């Protein structure tokens, strides 16, 4: 029973590592495509949600028999801009995708420790994260995680046959 729960937690851990690698991969791609940073994207999305909500209310209100006060549009626009500024200023999201990749890598528990140490060494030597080096590490780590999952499944199948 104990080995069953240990086995299940090990496979869950490996699958969460696979999920984290996917997050790192998406952040590297967003960085390569020069997309808005996570904080700026969150800020703009929040502000636009307020503006779109206000416009929707202005369209729907007359159809359901409601009268909106004059200046509703301007209040909604100002509110959207204010929310955009406040989220951009006080959000805890990383400013850039490079910063996000760094935070994700710092929190990552590698399977291929040797490759991770090599990545850290290169990042220290050349400040910043080189996409080619990061993708090379990502491929190595992804194959190490997949191999660990395969080994685990094979061990589980073999032990099930012996019982």
Query: 93, 114, 139: which is the final residue of a domain?
Result: 93
User: Which tens digit of pLDDT belongs to each residue from 37-93?
Assistant: 999 999 999 999 999 999 999 999 999 999 989 999 999 999 999 999 999 999 999
Same structural domain for residues 31 and 98?
yes
* Contact indicator for 101, 24 with CB cutoff of 8 Å: yes
The answer to whether the beta carbons of residues 51 and 75 sit under 8 Å apart is no
- What's the token pair of residue 20? 């984290």
Same domain for 42 and 59:
yes
Judge if 146 and 102 occupy the same domain.
yes
Mean pLDDT of all residues in the chain? Answer: 88
Q: Do residues 98 and 149 share a domain?
A: yes
Same domain, 127 and 147: yes
One domain, residues 89 and 114: no
Query: Do both 105 and 138 map to the same domain?
Result: yes
| 28 lies in the same domain as 99 | yes
Residues 1, 43, single domain; the answer is no
The reported pTM is 0.74
Do residues 66 and 140 share a domain? Answer: no
* Together in a domain, 88 and 98: no
Query: How is 109-163 classified by DSSP, letter by letter?
Result: --SSHHHHHHHHHHHHHSSS--HHHHHHHHHHHHHHHHHHHHHHHHHHHHHHHH-
State which residues form the domain around 99.
Answer: 1-35+94-163
CA distances from 20 to 15, 39, 128 (A): 9, 19, 20
More confident residue, 23 or 126: 23
């Amino acid at each position: 029973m104990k080995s069953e729960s240990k086995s299940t937690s090990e496979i869950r851990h490996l699958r969460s590592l696979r999920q984290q690698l996917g997050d790192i991969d998406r952040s590297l791609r967003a960085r390569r495509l020069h997309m808005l940073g996570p904080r700026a994207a969150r800020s703009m999305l929040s502000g636009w949600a307020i503006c779109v909500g206000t416009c929707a209310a202005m369209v729907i209100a007359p159809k359901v028999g409601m009268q909106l006060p004059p200046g509703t549009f301007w209040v909604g626009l100002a509110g959207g801009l204010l929310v955009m500024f406040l989220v951009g200023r006080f959000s805890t999201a990383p400013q850039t995708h490079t910063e996000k990749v760094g935070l994700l890598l710092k929190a990552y528990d590698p399977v291929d420790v040797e490759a991770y140490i090599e990545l850290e060494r290169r990042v220290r030597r050349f400040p910043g994260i080189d996409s080619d080096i990061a993708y090379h590490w990502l491929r190595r780590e992804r194959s190490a995680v997949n191999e660990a999952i395969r080994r685990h499944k094979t061990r589980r199948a073999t032990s099930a046959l012996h019982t």
